[in-house]
Amino acid sequence: MNFNDTPDEAQFRLKARAFLEANAPRRERGTQPSRTVDRDAEVIKSAKAWQAKKLAAGFAAITWPKAVGGQGGTPIQQIVYAQEEAQFVTPPGVFDIGLGMCIPTLIKHGSKEHMMRHVKPALTGDEIWCQLFSEPAAGSDVAGIRTRAKRDGDNWIVNGQKVWTTGAHFSDFGLLLVRTDPDVAKHKGLTMFFLDMKSKGVEARPIKQVSGGAEFNEVFFTDVVIPDSQRLGTIGDGWTVALTTLMNERLAVGIATGILGVEDFLALARSSHLDEEPAIRNGAIRDRLAQFFVESEGLKYTRYRMWTALSRGETPGPQSSINKVVSGKLMQDLASLSMELMGEAGMVSGEGPGNGAFQRQWLGAAGFRIAGGTDEILRNIIAERVLGMPPDVRVDKDVTFAQLESARAKR
Ligand SMILES: Cc1cc2nc3c(=O)[nH]c(=O)nc-3n(C[C@H](O)[C@H](O)[C@H](O)COP(=O)(O)OP(=O)(O)OC[C@H]3O[C@@H](n4cnc5c(N)ncnc54)[C@H](O)[C@@H]3O)c2cc1C
C-alpha cells in the first residue's frame, strides 16, 4: 500500500498550503488554539469571514457536488485540506454542525425549494445551523425523545425540551427531531423538521461548562409553530432522516484533526524537569511516551484504512468507532500527563505552552468521548461488528413509545 500523496493530491496540498500561508498564521508546536464556539460576537464574525474566504478559494464543501455549490472534490482532498488547516490558527468551527451534518441531511431529504433557499447562505457563512436531537432522557438512545409535534392544519405545534445543543444561541436554523406518534414503536413515530431559531416560543438557555465557556444550551419549545413545508422526509420516517445526520456526524468526528499529540508531548518532556533532570530522561516518562507513540501509530494506520474506504467511495465501517475510542482516551491521557509535568502551572488554565493548550485539551477531551457516540456505545459497535459478539438486549422493540413511557412512570 502506498501512503504518499498521488501527484494530484500533492498538487492540491500545495494549493491548500499556499492559501493558508497567505491568510492565516501558522500554529506553533505545543500550541493548540482554542476552537471553542462560545458567546463572543467577534468570534462568530471572524468565523463567518473565514468561511466566505474559504468558499471563494475553493476549499469549502470540497466533497459536495458542484450542482449544490460544492467543489466536486474527493474525500481525500477534504482530508488533505483538514490536515493542512490544522497547522494554522483559524477561527472555531461554527459551521461544522451545519455544513457537516444539517445541510447534507437537507440535501438528501429536502425539496428543491429547500436547497435553493438554504444551501448557499450556509456555504457562504451567512446562516448558521444547529442540531436539535438530544434531550435530558434521550442521548445515546436518541429514538427515545419526548419533544412532541401535533398537527394543526398546515402547521405543527411543538412542545418540549432539547439539551446539549451546540451553538443554538447564535444559530439561524435548527434541524429538529420530534415525536409525532407515540402509539407506535419508538423509532417509528418520529418526524424531522427544520425551523427558524428566532421563531416565537423558542428559548435557548446557556449551559456553563467546567472550562468556563458556554458552548451548549438547553432549548425549550413552547407552542412553537412550524409549517409542514419545513418537514424533511415523510411523517413518521424521521429516524431514517436522523440516520443520515448521525452517519455524517460519525464521519466528521472520525476525521477530526488538530489535537496536541506525541510531538507536542515530546517537546514538553524535553523542556521540563523531573527530579532535577530533563523529564525526557525519566524512565517512567519514556515508558508513557512510547505508549503514546504506539497508540498514535495505530491510529494513523486505522485512519489510513478509513481514508482508503472513502477514496473507494465506500462508507468506513467500525474503523471510525475504533479511531474515536482510542483517540479520545489518548487525547485525555496525553493532556493529563502533560499537566502533571507542568507542576503547579498545570492546574491553572492559561498557563504553560500555548497559553494553557494542554489544560484546554484535557477539559475538552471528556466531551469528545461523549459527543457523536460515547465510548461505551462505540465499544458495543466494535463488539458486535468486529468481534461478532451478540447484540445488546432490546426490551423496547415490540412495544409502543406510550407503553414505554407508562412503564417508566410506574418505576
Ligand atoms: C461536546 C458535545 C457536543 C454536543 N452537541 C450536541 C448537539 O449539538 N446537538 C445534540 O442534539 N446533542 C449534542 N450533544 C449530546 C450528545 O449527542 C449526547 O451527550 C450523547 O449522545 C450521549 O447522550 P447522553 O449525554 O444523554 O448520555 P446517555 O446516553 O444517557 O449515557 C449515559 C452513560 O450511559 C452509557 N450508555 C448509554 N447507553 C448504553 C448502552 N446501550 N450500553 C452501554 N452503555 C450505555 C453511556 O456510554 C454513558 O456513559 C453533544 C454532546 C457533547 C459532549
Residue-wise pLDDT tens digits, 88-122: 989 888 999 999 999 999 999 999 999 999 999 99
Q: Is the distance from the beta carbon of residue 161 to the nearest atom of ligand 1 less than 6 Å?
A: no
Domain range enclosing 42: 7-94
Mark which of 94, 117, 137 sits at the end of a domain: 94
Q: Is residue 404 part of a domain?
A: no
- Distance, CA of 325 to CA of 98 (rounded, Å): 24
Instruction: Provide the residue type at 78 as one letter.
Output: Q
Q: Is the distance from the beta carbon of residue 164 to the nearest atom of ligand 1 less than 6 Å?
A: yes
DSSP state of 6: P
Give 148 Cα–ligand 1 centroid separation in angstroms.
Answer: 20
Nearest atom in ligand 1 to 368's CA: 1
Q: Is the distance from the beta carbon of residue 136 to the nearest atom of ligand 1 less than 6 Å?
A: no
Q: What is the CATH number of the domain that holds 134?
A: 2.40.110.10
**pLDDT, tens only, 108-159:** 999 999 999 999 999 999 999 999 999 999 999 999 999 999 999 999 999 9
First to last CA, the chain: 56
Identify whether residues 283 and 222 lie together within a single domain: no
How many Cβ atoms are within 10 Å of 167's Cβ, its own excluded? 26
Name the nearest CA neighbour of 321 among 277, 383, 258: 383
Q: Tell me the best of 96, 147, 161, 164 to mutate to test the pocket of ligand 1, counting ligand atoms within 8 Å of each CB and taking the most.
A: 164
pTM above 0.85, yes or no: yes
Give 131 Cα–ligand 1 centroid separation in angstroms.
Answer: 14
- Distance, CA of 385 to CA of 387 (rounded, Å): 6
Nearest atom in ligand 1 to 370's CA: 53
Identify whether residues 227 and 272 lie together within a single domain: no
Mark which of 241, 274, 298 sits at the end of a domain: 241
Percent of the chain at pLDDT exceeding 70: 95
Q: Is residue 318 part of a domain?
A: yes
Identify whether residues 303 and 368 lie together within a single domain: yes
Q: Which residue has the cell 457523536?
A: 372
Nearest atom in ligand 1 to 132's CA: 11
Q: Is the pLDDT of residue 219 over 70?
A: yes
Identify whether residues 134 and 173 lie together within a single domain: yes
Query: Which residue(s) pair with 175 in the sheet?
Result: 131, 194
Residues in contact with 215: Cβ distance below 8 Å, sequence separation at least 6, in sequence order? 36, 37, 38, 166, 167, 209
Give 226 Cα–ligand 1 centroid separation in angstroms.
Answer: 27
pLDDT at 4: 81
pLDDT at 376: 96
Q: Is the distance from the beta carbon of residue 245 to the nearest atom of ligand 1 less than 6 Å?
A: no
Q: Is residue 314 part of a domain?
A: yes
Q: Is residue 101 part of a domain?
A: no
User: In whole angstroms, what separates CA 403 from the centre of its chain?
Assistant: 33
Q: Is the distance from the beta carbon of residue 165 to the nearest atom of ligand 1 less than 6 Å?
A: yes
User: In whole angstroms, what separates CA 222 from the centre of its chain?
Assistant: 28
Give the CA-trace dihedral at 181, 183, 184, 187, to 10 degrees.
50
